[in-house]
């Protein structure tokens, strides 16, 4: 299911940081940002997959092997269009 509010919340969280976020931290911040304590792991994972397929976010691994996510230039441009 498409959920633009969820997608945009993830992008806005990632836009604040130059270094990206660990996936677990991003999930927690997304839950708070969307005020949705019932956000499931599957919903969150599906949202990340959708954003990654659209090249709005990218996955990488930090030096200790934790999965992290960062926003791409295309993701920043998308938010700039939304924010006017």
pTM of the shown model: 0.94
CA 84 to chain centre: 20
Task: Pinpoint the alpha helices (H) of 2-84.
Answer: 4-15, 23-34, 41-53, 73-83
Q: What is the pLDDT of residues 13-59, one digit of tens each?
A: 999 998 999 999 999 999 999 999 999 999 999 999 999 999 999 99
At 1, is the pLDDT very low, low, confident or very high (cuts 50, 70, 90)?
Answer: low
Q: What is the pLDDT of residues 52-80, one digit of tens each?
A: 999 999 999 999 999 999 999 999 999 99
Residues 36, 54: Cα–Cα separation, whole Å: 24
Query: CA distances (Å), 67 to each of 37, 80, 81, 82, in order?
Result: 22, 26, 28, 28
User: What's the token pair of residue 74?
Assistant: 């295309």
């Amino acid at each position: 299911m498409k959920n633009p509010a969820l997608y945009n919340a993830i992008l806005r969280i990632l836009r604040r940081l130059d270094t990206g976020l660990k996936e677990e931290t991003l999930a927690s911040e997304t839950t708070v940002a969307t005020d949705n304590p019932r956000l499931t792991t599957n919903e969150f994972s599906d949202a990340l997959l959708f954003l990654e397929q659209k090249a709005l976010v990218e996955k990488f691994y930090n030096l200790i092997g934790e999965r992290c996510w960062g926003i791409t230039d295309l993701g920043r441009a998308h938010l700039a269009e939304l924010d006017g």
